[in-house]
């Protein structure tokens, strides 16, 4: 089957990214947007664009409305991107029922791997190590009993959770009792499910994930790993590929584990298998993300594989173009999530108008963004406004090039995390590739303004004053 027209059920930089892939493949790209997004870059970049809602969120979150529009506009496929409906099995099923190719796994696989307890069982059947944990819990009494068996600290998790939501660390009985109803409430509101489970908390692990591709002909390969250990409150900030903390032996081992998980659940399309690596260098399966990841970019940089194009080809029924022995990596890549947040003010979102924007460039530098000078960042969505991706032949060159690229990138009118990343980049532990998921919490001093951030703050204030004076 040939795909000729794709509806992109998303917004922002990932929608721009998908539209570019479609256009390179001579496929028409159709964008959707809310009233708040009418001036967004993804609307301008698509071949066609349709307002799906006046409400900022409901249009992006209604699978029936999205698929109806795909049918009405003559699309033969739908790409969900990440976030929103990307891991919603209902969307995949409605697409199938309406004759629209869903660019992702089947609804059944999404349900199975979206249920974290079932995903753990799939990993166990594939002989992939998992952290000690439980099935879905009936009540707080069972939770307390199981926590005593596993041993504190434990993680209380929503079975259908994701994106850092529906998850709490509990160090003792008191914290488990306090968090139990909170997590259930949060899970119900965010994911429509009240089911929760417990997992042994691995203290300050390294967070390593593996990109996989699988077609409908039984072929499954991995594209090596990414290190996502630099994170705050379970939200990733900086990602690296490959991990500078792994040996080649570990790299091959974890890649094989990921392929076994994907094969075990009958996976199809692009996906990511996430692991924790403890102080004893033991890997534990954590979960599988059944969609393209925000950080897919750095895997593309080190392997040369266009993951979004491969997603579309797989959805069209084509075989993978690569065997595992044809996949290799070259150099190192880093992705910096440029968030419109103020690190000095507890990372408070900084929405508003971008008075001036200068993208980074030069050798080995890529920027995926949906912003431009004069664009108003709406307050209804995630605070990430751009992704800075840097590639270099070795780790030392990556550090140097990343520093130069961060200095090159300037966004005026809103506060961003750029100065914070500069501070992280200069920390000796990061430069020595010696860090884990506790790095950000252990170094609160890195939120302090650098010289550049002070200059940006002054420039932003001046720009705002000039704009106000001019009546803009």
Q: Which of 291, 337, 366, 401 is catalytic?
A: 291
Closest listed residue to residue 261, CA positions, set 272, 250, 251: 272
Contact indicator for 463, 355 with CB cutoff of 8 Å: yes
What string of DSSP letters covers 92-149? HHHHHHTT-EESS--HHHHHHHHSHHHHHHHHHHTT--B-SB-S---SHHHHHHHHHH
Contact indicator for 419, 449 with CB cutoff of 8 Å: yes
What string of DSSP letters covers 310-340? HHHHHHTTPPPS--GGG----SEEEEEEEES
Per the annotation, the verdict on 401 as an active-site residue is no
Q: Say what the alpha-carbon torsion angle 259, 264, 265, 270 is, to the nearest 10 degrees.
A: 10
Contact indicator for 242, 225 with CB cutoff of 8 Å: yes
Round to whole Å and give the CA distance between 92 and 77.
11
Structure tokens at 77: 């496929």
Active-site residues: which are they? 291
């Amino acid at each position: 089957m040939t795909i000729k027209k794709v509806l992109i059920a998303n917004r922002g930089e990932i929608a721009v990214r998908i539209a570019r892939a479609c256009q390179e493949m001579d496929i028409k790209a159709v964008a959707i947007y809310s009233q708040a997004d009418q001036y967004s870059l993804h609307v301008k970049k698509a071949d066609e664009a349709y307002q799906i809602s006046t409400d900022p969120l409901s249009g992006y979150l209604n699978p029936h409305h999205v698929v109806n529009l795909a049918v009405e506009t003559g699309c033969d496929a739908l790409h969900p991107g990440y976030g929103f409906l990307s891991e919603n099995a209902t969307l995949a099923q409605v697409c199938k029922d309406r004759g629209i190719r869903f660019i992702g796994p089947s609804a059944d696989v999404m349900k199975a791997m979206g249920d974290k307890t079932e995903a753990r069982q799939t990993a166990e059947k594939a002989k992939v190590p998992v952290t000690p944990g439980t099935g879905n819990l009936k009540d707080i009494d069972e939770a307390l009993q199981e926590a005593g068996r596993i041993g504190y600290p434990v993680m209380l998790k929503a079975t259908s959770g994701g994106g850092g939501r529906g998850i709490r660390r509990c160090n003792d009985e008191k914290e488990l009792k306090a968090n139990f109803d909170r997590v259930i409430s949060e899970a119900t509101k965010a994911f429509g499910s009240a089911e929760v489970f417990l997992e042994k908390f691995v203290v300050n692990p390294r967070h390593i994930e593996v990109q996989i591709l699988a077609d409908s002909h039984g072929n499954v390969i991995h594209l090596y790993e990414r290190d996502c250990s630099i994170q705050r409150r379970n939200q990733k900030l900086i990602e690296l590929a490959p991990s500078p903390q792994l040996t080649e032996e570990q790299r091959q081992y974890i890649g094989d584990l990921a392929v076994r998980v994907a094969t075990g659940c009958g996976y199809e399309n692009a996906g990511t298998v996430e692991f924790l690596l403890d102080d004893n260098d033991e890997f534990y399966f954590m979960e599988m993300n059944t969609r393209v990841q925000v950080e897919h970019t750095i895997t593309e940089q080190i392997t040369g594989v266009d993951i979004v194009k491969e997603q579309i080809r797989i959805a069209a029924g084509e075989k993978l173009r690569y065997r595992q022995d044809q996949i290799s990596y070259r150099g190192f890549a880093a992705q910096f999530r440029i968030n419109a947040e103020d690190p000095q003010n507890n990372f408070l979102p900084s929405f508003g108008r971008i008075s001036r924007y200068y993208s980074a460039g030069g050798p080995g530098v890529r920027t995926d963004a949906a912003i431009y000078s004069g664009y108003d960042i709406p307050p209804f969505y995630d605070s990430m406004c751009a992704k800075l991706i840097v590639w270099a032949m070795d780790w030392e060159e990556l550090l140097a090039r990343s520093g130069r690229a961060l200095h090159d990138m300037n966004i005026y009118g809103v506060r961003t995390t750029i100065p914070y990343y500069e501070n992280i980049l200069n920390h000796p532990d990061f430069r020595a590739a010696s860090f884990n998921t506790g790095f950000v919490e252990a170094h609160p001093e890195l939120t302090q303004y650098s010289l550049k951030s002070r200059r940006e703050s002054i420039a932003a204030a001046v720009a705002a004053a000039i704009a106000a004076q001019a009546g803009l």
